[in-house]
Amino acid sequence: MDHRERSTRHWRLDVYQDNSEKVFEIPFSALDHSLNHLRPDYRAAVVQVAQSIRSLRDVYYDATLTKRESDSLVARSRGKPYLVAYRGRKVMRDDS
């Protein structure tokens, strides 16, 4: 994030215990020292926008995964080649 605050402000570090349970999260916007010159209400607004961007990107990512899975299921049902994994992660859920 150092010297890239504006482009990474919406990032978040999620901390998990035993690879399953999320213990806590650290939004980068909360640690962004480049916002220290702002009034508290302005800083809060910037943090809120960063969280909104993060949420939007999460939804977009989930929708992309759903589309890949759907495309793979349709192709498989038609006996066509289909995507099994993308970037090392299975495309289809185990229950399918």
**pLDDT tens digits, one per residue of 33-50:** 899 999 999 999 999 999
Flag whether 22 is in a domain.
Answer: yes
Flag whether 36 is in a domain.
Answer: yes
Flag whether 96 is in a domain.
Answer: no
Q: What is the CA radius of gyration of the chain?
A: 19
Residue-range definition of the domain harbouring residue 50:
5-90
Q: Burial of 72 by CB count in 10 Å (0-12 exposed, 13-18 middle, 19+ buried)?
A: buried
**pLDDT tens digits, one per residue of 7-38:** 999 999 999 998 788 999 999 998 888 999 99
Rounded-to-integer distance, Cα 65 and Cα 45, Å = 30
* Global pTM value: 0.75
Rounded-to-integer distance, Cα 47 and Cα 30, Å = 7
Flag whether 95 is in a domain.
Answer: no
Structurally, how many domains does the chain consist of?
Answer: 1
